[in-house]
Amino acid sequence: MEDPKSREDIKVAFKAGGKPTQQNFYDVFNSFIHKNEDGLAISEEGNLGVGTSNPQARLQVDGGLKIGDVPNVDTSQVVQGTLRWTGAELQIFFGGEWHNVWAPQSEPRKETYDQLDILVRRNNSPLSRPFNFPANASKLLNIEFLMDISAGLFFGNNNEELLISMHDTNGNTLWNTAIRQTPGDRTDVTFSSPVSGDVSIENLSSFILQFEVVKRQGGGGQQLTVNIKRITIQYIPA
């Protein structure tokens, strides 16, 4: 068949009062189905295209897609896989409830704990210190330590290392690291350790840091002493 006429062409043809032909009816239905002027198209495979005349998926949108909210209805009436935008969060419905797909994230913030003077020595029992999280902390990103190292002749020479771990008040490990440093005494040494994974601290008000100097392998060496002077945590606020 011929290419479909535009709606304006069809209007003119019918306004003239002529007897509609088979082609006229074809043009009317074809224009309605494809809605060429509106940028809508339905392929022979049943794919719907918005902004494209050749959709390659069941729904293809070439352009922005605006999603609205879903009224507060009984969740038994919501279809699995439904998307909604609440005005603050993009959510998808599955498993009988709404789940966040994305929510705007606040800028990272820092909390510093200084004037600590936490002395950690080799051969001593692990040393633990409690701290309070910022009231609005949601996700842990990074932990930084400022420390002095003394009598560390073999520190970092496959012999001694400083183990640090963070726990919640129930003893669950949130983060841990092993720090090795070049031999010799050093002051104001900064170690920064990114927190891997999605460590949520939204419902935690406090945490415990545990420090321990251990000998990894090999012979003697002087006893290592580490003085933790400042700790800075980077976090995402709620």
Average pLDDT, integer, range 215-227? 67
Backbone angles phi, psi at 125, to 5 degrees: -65, 155
- Contact yes or no for 139/200 (Cβ under 8 A): yes
What pLDDT is recorded for position 156?
47
Nearest-angstrom CA–CA distance, 121 and 8: 88
Nearest-angstrom CA–CA distance, 7 and 35: 9
| 10 vs 93, higher pLDDT | 93
The secondary structure element, H or E, covering residue 23 is helix 22-34
> Could you tell me the domains of the chain?
109-237 (2.60.120.260)
The secondary structure element, H or E, covering residue 14 is helix 7-15
Nearest-angstrom CA–CA distance, 175 and 209: 9
35 φ/ψ sector (left φ>0, alpha ψ -120 to 50, else beta): left
pLDDT, tens digit, 9 for 90 and up, residues 61-96: 998 888 888 877 787 888 889 998 888 788 898 888
Backbone angles phi, psi at 45, to 5 degrees: -85, -5
pLDDT, tens digit, 9 for 90 and up, residues 94-135: 888 888 887 666 789 999 999 898 988 877 788 999 999 988
- Contact yes or no for 175/199 (Cβ under 8 A): yes
pLDDT, tens digit, 9 for 90 and up, residues 20-52: 677 767 766 666 655 555 677 778 888 888 888
Nearest-angstrom CA–CA distance, 45 and 58: 9
